[in-house]
């Protein structure tokens, strides 16, 4: 792996584990195993690293936004979507949690955010609509918009809430898994009993088996 790529990968892991504000360039250089001057050759500031990591995040995000419901097994495809989203939250935890440290998002991410939110909303809405059409979810068309918005809010801001409230939110804390499970409380009472049990089982199996949805795995 090229030095520049090793720096980016190590920075992401350190930011996730220690928080953006607590990682110094000296600490990062030591972790990579290079002189601090070599680090500065590739990235003059931590903000430059943030730019590179934001570009990675945007590229990664495109794959999730392209996922659509599989009407042959909508619950399985929804859990697959959540699995990809959980991996995104885990691998870019600091972006979801540490904005108070680094301030404004990068220009590239700031420009992309409206599209990310809009397509995330459309994705959740499509899954809820597919569940309704399959007879699994008792919900009116007029309620789907709010449910999709609330699902995004619960999952998106879970890490930031935990940090600001002084609760554990770093790797191994189970924070991402809890956020995914927590969003089920928004609509599980509207699912058929069989669908509710199946969705909870599938999500529980993912987390207990240590697959992508679990916090302990690191890319």
Six token digits for residue 28:
């990062």
- The CATH fold assigned to 57-208 is Tetracycline Repressor; domain 2 (1.10.357)
Domain range annotation of the chain: 57-208
**What is the spatial distance between Cα 21 and Cα 100, in angstroms, rounded to a whole number?**
9
Q: ∠80-83-86 over CA atoms, to 5°? A: 155
Six token digits for residue 116:
């990310």
Length of the chain: 219
The predicted-structure confidence for 19-71, as pLDDT tens digits, reads as follows 999 999 999 999 999 999 999 999 999 999 999 999 999 999 999 999 999 99
pLDDT exceeds 90 at position 213: no
**What is the spatial distance between Cα 175 and Cα 181, in angstroms, rounded to a whole number?**
10
The predicted-structure confidence for 128-187, as pLDDT tens digits, reads as follows 999 999 999 999 999 999 999 999 999 999 999 999 999 999 988 999 999 999 999 999
DSSP code, position 44 = S
Q: How confident is the model at residue 204 (pLDDT cuts 50, 70, 90)?
A: confident
Q: What is the mean pLDDT of residues 90-101?
A: 96
Q: How confident is the model at residue 207 (pLDDT cuts 50, 70, 90)?
A: low
């Amino acid at each position: 792996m090229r030095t520049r790529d090793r720096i980016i990968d190590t920075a992401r892991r350190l930011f996730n584990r220690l928080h953006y504000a607590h990682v110094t360039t000296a600490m990062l250089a030591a972790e990579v195993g290079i002189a601090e001057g070599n680090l500065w050759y590739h990235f003059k500031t931590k903000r430059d690293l943030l730019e590179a990591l934001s570009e990675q995040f945007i590229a990664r995000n495109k794959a999730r936004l392209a996922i659509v419901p599989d009407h042959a097994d909508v619950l399985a495809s929804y859990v697959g979507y959540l699995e990809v989203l959980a991996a995104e939250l885990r691998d870019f935890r600091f972006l979801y949690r540490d904005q108070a440290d680094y301030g404004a998002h990068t220009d590239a991410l700031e420009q992309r955010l409206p599209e990310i939110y809009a397509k995330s909303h459309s994705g959740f809405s499509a899954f809820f609509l597919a569940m309704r059409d399959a007879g699994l979810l008792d919900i009116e068309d007029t309620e789907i918009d709010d449910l999709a918005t609330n699902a995004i809010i619960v999952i998106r801001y879970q890490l930031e809430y935990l940090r600001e409230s002084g609760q554990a939110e770093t790797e191994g804390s189970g924070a991402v898994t809890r956020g995914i499970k927590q969003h089920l409380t928004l609509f599980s009472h509207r699912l058929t009993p069989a669908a509710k049990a199946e969705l909870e089982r599938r999500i529980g199996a993912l987390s207990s088996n240590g697959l992508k949805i679990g916090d302990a795995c690191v890319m």
